[in-house]
Structure 1
Amino acid sequence: MKITWLGHASFIIETGGKKIITDPFEEKVGYPLYAGEVDIATVSHDHYDHNAVHLLKGDPLVVKGRGVFELAGIKITGYPSYHDKRKGEERGENTVYKIESEELSILHLGDLGHILDDRMVEEIGRVDILLIPVGGVYTINAEEAFALAQKINPRIIIPMHFATPALTFTLAPVEDFTSKFAHTVKKPYLYLERKEDLPGETEVIVLDYTNS
């Protein structure tokens, strides 16, 4: 399995011979658009910086909302959540996706605006790799992301949705989140050949969108 960050909340997950893109964005977000074809696209909510499936190449299966979706041995489960702390009154709903493939589980939190409660964390179950927004403003902030990451307790944490030189609007820097951990690793992408390649203890990995 290979995970590459395209910027914002968008990743390319290569697994089982397929390519999954999460939360594809429009060009005005600031990052380069993905030029390759994809097989599956997940959309956490209908905002332009997360739902640009019309720009994707190929004929991807578009996954939106709650429920279970399966393709070629890849299982994707959508869990309901909110884009704010007032049950969607301010910015609407958000879908959290658990992606299971190659005996690994990834949780993509989209534009989550609140800390998931214990019931939802228990329902989601084991998470190996957590893709979590940390930039605040439109999502949970660094402090909330840290608290939620402790609850979920994944083996790998990959922050997303934070300020970079490419982004055209204001979010907090990733350092607000990573400074809460004793050690952070920077990588161009994450590659795991098998489940046994997961670290023994929780590791924070910051990916570089310029390598996508």
Structure 2
Amino acid sequence: MKIKWCGNSYFIIEKDDIKIAIDPHDGYSLNLKPCYVNADYIIITHNHYDHNAVEVSYGDKTKEIIKNFIGKKKIDSINLEFYEMAHDKNEGKVFGMVKTFKLIIDDIKIVNLSDIGVRFNKLIKDIFYPVDILMIPVGGVTTINYLEAIEYIENLKPKIVFPMHYWIKGSTLPYDSIEKFINSINYKKILINSNEVNINLNALHDDVEILILKYE
């Protein structure tokens, strides 16, 4: 399985020639580069401009755009479960709601927390624990911050963590930098000199590893 990060919260997951684009941005609106892909499926967790640029991921292979969905769903051999959660600490009254989700491939559970804004709590643990791969915002301002993200990681104990939704050089979004997160967490940190990485689903470690992909 290959995971590619295109900055902000835009990920592309590829498995067995199936490409899933998650929360694509158009690049230009954030002063970043666009990241085009002909995805089989496009997941939009909420309708904010830095998450809903369907046009950069849409092509002749696209079978479905998944948005505003809550509950269980199957796409090809992949199982999905969507849950609605608040984008802020005021029950969504400030920034609205987002769809967090589990994505299960070959019994490996990937959890994407979108732009979640609420502190870790028992309900979140009941829904998501255990986790194999966690995609989590760390930039604060409109989401949980890096310290709150660490609380999630310590309780969910994923094998691999992909931090997302943090400030990138040149970006117009005023989020915290990744350095605050890196300098505050005690788990093993691996800096990947690429914006994509191959994950061996049969060789995941029990200990938490933080994979920081390079924005390109």
TM-score range, shorter chain: over 0.9
Alpha-carbon deviation of 1:60?
Answer: 4.1
Distance 2:111 2:31 in 1: 25
Alpha-carbon deviation of 1:142?
Answer: 0.8
Q: In 1, are the aligned partners of 2:5 and 2:11 still within 8 Å (CA)?
A: yes
1:190 aligns to 2:197 (yes or no):
yes
Alpha-carbon deviation of 1:117?
Answer: 2.0
TM-score of the superposed pair, with normalisation by structure 2: 0.91
Deviates more, 1:49-58 or 1:170-179: 49-58
Letter in 2 for 1:41: I
Distance 2:22 2:129 in 1: 20
Letter in 2 for 1:25: H
Letter in 2 for 1:197: A
Deviates more, 1:115-124 or 1:136-145: 115-124
**Cα-to-partner distance string for 1:7-41 (whole Å, 9 max, x where unaligned):** 00011100232101110112311222222200111
1:87 aligns to 2:91 (yes or no):
yes
Distance 1:84 1:146 in 2: 17
1:167 aligns to 2:171 (yes or no):
yes
CA RMSD of superposed structures (Å): 1.4
1:72 aligns to 2:90 (yes or no):
no
- The equivalent residue for 2:65 is 62
Residue pairs, 1:142-157, within 5 angstroms? 142-157=146-161
Unaligned runs of 5+ in 1: none
Distance 2:170 2:82 in 1: 29
Distance 2:200 2:92 in 1: 39
Alpha-carbon deviation of 1:74?
Answer: 0.9
- The equivalent residue for 2:209 is 203
Percent of pairs with identical residues: 31
Unaligned runs of 5+ in 2: none
**Cα-to-partner distance string for 1:26-76 (whole Å, 9 max, x where unaligned):** 231122222220011111111000111134332241122311221110111
Distance 2:34 2:75 in 1: 24
Question: What secondary structure, in the 3-state scheme, does the structure 2 residue paired with 1:145 have?
Answer: helix
**4+ residue runs of structure 1 moved beyond 4 angstroms?**
none
Letter in 2 for 1:100: I
TM-score of the superposed pair, with normalisation by structure 1: 0.93
Alpha-carbon deviation of 1:166?
Answer: 3.4
Residue pairs, 1:118-157, within 5 angstroms? 118-157=122-161
Q: Count residues in correspondence.
A: 209
Distance 1:181 1:101 in 2: 28
1:45 aligns to 2:46 (yes or no):
yes
